[in-house]
Amino acid sequence: MSVSTNPSPRIKREHLIWAAAAVVVLVLGVAVAAVIAQQRVGNKEKAQLLGQSESGGAVVSIGPLDGTALSDYDPGRQSALDKATGQRAAVVSLASYVTEPEARAGVAQLHVIALLAAPPGGAPTLVTGDMAAWAQQQKASVTQERDADQQLLGNGVDDPDFRTFYQQEVARLNRELTGIDPNGKVVFGVVVSGSAADLQALAKHAGVRLVDVAPSAKVSDQTQYTGVRPEQTTTVNQHDPRPF
pLDDT tens-digit readout, 150-183: 998 988 777 888 899 999 999 999 999 999 999 9
Q: What is the spatial distance between Cα 149 and Cα 151, in angstroms, rounded to a whole number?
A: 5
Q: Provide the pLDDT for residue 1.
A: 39
DSSP codes of every residue in 2-42 = ------HHHHHHHHHHHHHHHHHHHHHHHHHHHHHHHHHHH
pLDDT in tens, 55-97: 778 899 999 999 999 999 999 999 999 999 999 999 999 999 9
- Residue 134 is inside which H or E element, if any? helix 131-154
Judge contact between 108 and 201, C-beta under 8 A.
no
Q: Provide the pLDDT for residue 162.
A: 86
Q: Provide the pLDDT for residue 188.
A: 98
Q: Provide the pLDDT for residue 51.
A: 60
Cβ neighbours, 10 Å, residue 50: 12
Kindly state the DSSP code that residue 67 receives in the 8-state scheme. Answer: T
DSSP codes of every residue in 159-196 = SHHHHHHHHHHHHHHHHHHHT--TTSS-EEEEEEEEEH
For 167, residues 6+ apart whose C-beta sits below 8 A from its C-beta are 153
Judge whether residue 210 has pLDDT over 90: yes
Q: Is 71 helix (H, G, I), strand (E, B) or coil?
A: helix
- The residues that bridge with 116 in the sheet, in sequence order, are 126, 189
Write down the pTM of the prediction. 0.77
Nearest-10 Cα torsion for 13, 14, 20, 26: -160
